[in-house]
Amino acid sequence: MANLPAAEPLRIVVPDDAPAAVSGSAQENILRELAGLKIYDSLATEPGVLLERIREADAVICIRNSSQFSNEVLNQCLKLKHIAVFGIGVDMVDLGACKQLGITVTNVPGYSAPAVAECALTLALSVSRRVRQNDHLIRGGNWARDPVGQLYGKTMGIIGAGSIGKRMAELALAVGMNVICWTFNPDHNWGNRVGVTWGTIEDVLSTSDVVSIHLRLSEQTRGLVDEAKLALMKPTSILVNTARGAIVDEDALLLALETGHIAGAGLDVFTTEPLPPGHPFTNLDNVLLSPHVAASTLETDSAGLEMVVDNIRNWMKGTPTNVVA
């Protein structure tokens, strides 16, 4: 009997490792032991670039949400059977197309909750205490002792009480804030245990001194915080968004900030990323900007990448874990 050709090894592609997450990590060697591995050290923001990089892949590790796995791109990737998202949100992947094409999509739930919540609280504290403005004053040779805000005794409103929103609530309570939450599926046992109040999204927006958003981007949440909802906020309040930019109507938020309808905002995410040079947000003194790094700490990067590798290993075994679609 003639010898049959050996099966080709699986091909794993990282199309957008910029800045480097996989390359140079301990998990890179493990991935190379599992399959053939190709890492691209630049973003794949253009559909044609992404397609060229993943066309022959069996599995893809999505690092940056700027890579858009659209129906058009996926239908041209005939070998692709697994997209392992390095993150919680999977809004960059057309899940419907993946279901039709038999592509498994996995994520890494809960890995970054402490880091994102810390970033959200940092943004809230920094805006309230005018950290950015006072830093600039001192660097310019000036000195100011104008009163700043404090969060102790104020109300933290949380929109989205999953793992990140829950951790944010715990941090706010530790600061001495009252906490009111709205979410699609409230965990009343947890709420009773830690001491938060539940309300409608309108309740949260109208009563809170800080509103922090912790939702996934979906058809239900896209544009959820619109002009009408922003109008409910107090003129002394602060909006913090470390979730996804498109959850908030950015034009309406700009108007609210420019007119003083709300006092300030701390933003780690934007509808278009990177934020274009000269964007109106960059001209506002009452906005603190961060380049979508809330989840990026040494600790979370390591833990999340380990989960990604486990998801790929388990998928290869036929027992996929953390399956989204």
Q: What positions carry a catalytic annotation?
A: 244, 273, 292
Phi, psi angle pair for 52, to nearest 5°: -60, -35
Residues near 123 by Cβ (< 8 Å), separated by ≥ 6?
240, 242, 266, 267, 268, 288, 290
Q: Rounded distance, CA 268 to CA 262, Å?
A: 18
Q: Rounded distance, CA 178 to CA 180, Å?
A: 7
Nearest to 266 by CA among 209, 211, 207, 204: 211
- The three-state secondary structure class of 213 is strand
CA 289 distance to own-chain centroid: 15
What DSSP designation does 19 have?
Answer: S
Nearest to 290 by CA among 225, 243, 221: 243
Q: Rounded distance, CA 22 to CA 25, Å?
A: 5
Tokens of 19: 């800045």
Contact between residue 104 and residue 320 where contact means Cβ atoms under 8 Å apart: yes
